[in-house]
Structure 1
């Protein structure tokens, strides 16, 4: 799968995984020296506080807490795991074949249930649309065979905590347990109550690319942050309040002068003082909630 292959001061930051994104090939370019010289943790934290204050008690925050935003993969592999590396490769490259029929009846609406008395009714994806969302490759070689589907349920981490949601359960040839695809459609993202800052402004802030995962106990968060070829890597700090968790990212050891245009995206794990819970996870630069997953992938929180 495209997304699988590419697939939050004073906190423990642990580099986990590095992937490389080429934004220019064979070119040297000078970075903005003003940004290199303007690294200011105080200004970065000030911006984070402004974002937290803007969201606190806002109509955007109220809409966020009423909505459904997945913060984990909407695709869930069979409980047994993949039987072979070939099957795993077929899943990662989205190489599927359908041998059987899929339900064609209208699915209507279903409920996301957080188990605390809070539920939300949302439109559901049909079986065909759900299948087409992950079966986007028709090439030769390793592939998985889908033989049917039925509507069931699964659990998924959301912005409001873990929820039970409707899901399509796809039967796979050779597997006793299904491949699950969450069927609930996303809520519309509310407009941010604060505007976006310029990249490198506010004391050298950079944008958090996306959320990669949240620990089951909510005490740690893993995000992707970017940095260039002429620095020592990303730094991710966090401002925790009762209502939000604001991440503010920068780079360490930035150098001035000519530098290649290569950008590195690095996975960073951040420990929180208390579980994330239903607090809003915000990016200080954009002033918006941190999205989960790739923008064009299976599991973006929004696009």
Structure 2
């Protein structure tokens, strides 16, 4: 059965760079010393599968020459001041605009990579907003409802507050300004500065950027080639990347509700990184819930433009939306 998804609020777990827990070093064949094929050798099983995933990875030319984003096209610029309601609105794409949104396409823009750049066609502010906005709060007045007053001008309202929202649990975020700029985006060629429409949203105290690159200039990652055969029991895969800070990589493992001894693992080479983890599965019954468990590993060198692949599927991981 396919597991349904839930968030698991467990503490971060750390492991030193490599592909086995402290005290078990993999030999040249990929097996970890100190194990004999049983539960103690789960790190060795991870190493073998990670090496197979890396060997099967064959990206096309677009991976190194084109624009292939590895995160969603909506990016936060600045540190948002979320409330539970505005966080829900951001994740759901609930917006209302109080400014004119030009429907004219601007001239070409430039995606700037750590090494090199690419000229790309852009979309209009109106199209970017249509892609950004996914609807209205379900049980609350929508953006065109007269129950939602327009946002006051900056400095207006009680205590100089900017923006307004309907009463209740659901809100729509207010766009009070839009301009063409750039936003940081994780790509197959490393961290890039990408043309983006910048929407000012007073309710969260940050700018919501929507990548302005036209669809025809956005390439897609190649299809993954997972290793043949099922994974060893106790191996779990990575779902996405939460953050990249120098040589620190934070990602989320997909684990079961009753799994224990959750251990993140990383297999690192100069051209590719494979991540996943191991668990001790339950011996009795359990639900079918898939939980996202935060994990952290320290790489031997900063990530750079290296792909991060999931040990189970072989898929390149994307950076999770804010």
Match of 1:135 in 2: 133
Q: Which whole-Å CA distance do the structure 1 matches of 2:83 and 2:272 have between them?
A: 42
Matched, 1:248 2:276: yes
Residue by residue over 1:131-188, the C-alpha shift from the partner in whole angstroms, topping out at 9 and shown as x without a partner, is 1333223233333322442322233333322212101022446899743222235322
Q: Which whole-Å CA distance do the structure 2 matches of 1:9 and 1:76 have between them?
A: 27
Q: Secondary structure of the residue that 2:260 maps to in structure 1?
A: coil
> Aligned ranges for residues 147-186 of structure 1 at < 5 Å?
147-172=176-201, 178-184=207-213, 185=215, 186=218
Q: Structure 2, unaligned stretches of length 5 or more? A: 1-6, 19-37, 141-165
Matched, 1:206 2:211: no
2:294 to 232, 251, 267: 267
**Alpha-carbon distance, 1:256 to partner:** 2.4
Residues 41 and 203 of structure 1 are in contact (CA less than 8 Å); yes or no, is this contact kept in structure 2? no
Q: Secondary structure of the residue that 1:133 maps to in structure 2?
A: helix
Q: Secondary structure of the residue that 2:236 maps to in structure 1?
A: coil
Residues 211 and 292 of structure 1 are in contact (CA less than 8 Å); yes or no, is this contact kept in structure 2? yes
**Alpha-carbon distance, 1:83 to partner:** 8.7
Number of aligned positions between the proteins = 260
Matched, 1:235 2:263: yes
Match of 1:42 in 2: 44
Q: Which whole-Å CA distance do the structure 2 matches of 1:203 and 1:256 have between them?
A: 12
Distance 1:115 1:282, change over 3 A: closer
Residue by residue over 1:100-143, the C-alpha shift from the partner in whole angstroms, topping out at 9 and shown as x without a partner, is 32111134643211143x11234434323321333223233333
Match of 2:315 in 1: 288
Q: Which whole-Å CA distance do the structure 1 matches of 2:103 and 2:313 have between them?
A: 41
Q: Secondary structure of the residue that 1:247 maps to in structure 2?
A: strand
Q: Secondary structure of the residue that 1:259 maps to in structure 2?
A: coil
Residues 102 and 148 of structure 1 are in contact (CA less than 8 Å); yes or no, is this contact kept in structure 2? no
Distance 1:197 1:292, change over 3 A: farther
> Aligned ranges for residues 27-176 of structure 1 at < 5 Å?
40-55=42-57, 58=58, 60=59, 62-71=61-70, 74-77=73-76, 79=78, 81-82=80-81, 90-107=89-106, 109-116=108-115, 118-139=116-137, 140=140, 141=166, 142-172=171-201
Match of 2:220 in 1: 188
2:251 to 208, 213, 223: 223
Matched, 1:11 2:16: yes
Q: Which whole-Å CA distance do the structure 2 matches of 1:84 and 1:195 have between them?
A: 40
The Cα RMSD (Å) is: 3.6
Distance 1:107 1:189, change over 3 A: farther
Residues 111 and 195 of structure 2 are in contact (CA less than 8 Å); yes or no, is this contact kept in structure 1? yes
Q: Which whole-Å CA distance do the structure 1 matches of 2:223 and 2:134 have between them?
A: 32
Distance 1:249 1:175, change over 3 A: closer
Distance 1:131 1:44, change over 3 A: same
**Alpha-carbon distance, 1:247 to partner:** 1.3
Structure with the greater alpha carbon radius of gyration? 2
Q: Which whole-Å CA distance do the structure 2 matches of 1:188 and 1:70 have between them?
A: 8
Could you state the TM-score of these two structures normalised by the residue count of structure 2?
A: 0.67
Q: Which whole-Å CA distance do the structure 2 matches of 1:177 and 1:237 have between them?
A: 34
